[in-house]
């Protein structure tokens, strides 16, 4: 059955997800050795919601959550990183097409698939897209933004790889496995 990419379910998930993403943005751990770079726990949550609700919800959560979070926290929006948050949400959500979470399946193969998607998406986003957009939009020095993008990317890849995978695995355990129900005699 083909999913409706912009269903009420997707919009509600995006709205609630964006609100939680904003809240989680306040829980960050400064790196210290690279300016304006922190360990962000919001991407762990984004990974879960995107694989459950798909790429549209993931992209909207990244876009809305990051932009409103920036506006509330800093008074302005850093659009180059907002674009990457949306891209990352879409990438996490695209992995959902290859996973069977609704049937409670999230074994080693699924873990490898999810992490391949998240590593590639975040590497492209944080190592390339964010720094290039920082240079184009804001005229930032290349050495600074590539260092920020690299550190942020590595941190997000590791945190999502460990804690995002764990959160998705826990979620998958709440789903009923196909064929697990038996008829009593």
Specify the CATH number for the domain of residue 138.
Answer: 1.10.1760.20
180 domain residue, yes or no: no
pLDDT in tens, 44-84: 999 999 999 999 999 999 999 999 999 999 999 999 999 99
Judge contact between 62 and 17, C-beta under 8 A.
no
125 domain residue, yes or no: yes
What's the pLDDT at 180? 59
Question: For the chain, what is the domain count?
Answer: 1
For residue 176, what is the DSSP state? P
* Structural domain of 25: 8-172
161 domain residue, yes or no: yes
Q: Which helix (H) or strand (E) holds 166?
A: helix 165-172
Per the rule left: phi > 0, alpha: psi between -120 and 50, beta: everything else, 28 is beta
Q: How many CA atoms lie within 13 A of 58 on its CB side?
A: 27
% of the chain beyond a pLDDT of 70: 92
pTM above 0.85, yes or no: yes
Where would I find the beta strands (DSSP E) of 70-128? Answer: none
121 domain residue, yes or no: yes
């Amino acid at each position: 059955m083909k999913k409706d990419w912009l269903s009420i379910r997707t919009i509600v998930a995006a709205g609630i997800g964006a609100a939680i993403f904003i809240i989680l943005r306040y829980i960050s751990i400064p790196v210290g050795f690279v300016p304006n770079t922190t360990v962000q726990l919001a991407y762990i949550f984004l990974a879960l919601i995107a694989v459950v609700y798909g790429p549209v919800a993931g992209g909207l959560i990244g876009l809305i959550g990051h932009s409103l979070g920036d506006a509330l926290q800093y008074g302005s929006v850093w659009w180059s990183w907002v674009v990457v948050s949306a891209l990352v949400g879409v990438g996490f959500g695209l992995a959902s097409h290859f996973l069977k979470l609704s049937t409670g399946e999230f074994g080693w193969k699924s873990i490898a698939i999810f992490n391949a998607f998240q590593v590639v998406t975040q590497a492209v986003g944080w190592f390339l897209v964010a720094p290039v957009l920082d240079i184009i939009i804001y005229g930032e020095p290349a050495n600074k933004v590539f260092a920020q993008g690299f550190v942020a990317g590595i941190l997000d890849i590791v945190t999502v790889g460990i804690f995002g995978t764990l959160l998705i695995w826990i979620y998958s355990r709440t789903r009923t496995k196909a064929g697990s129900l038996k008829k009593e005699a």
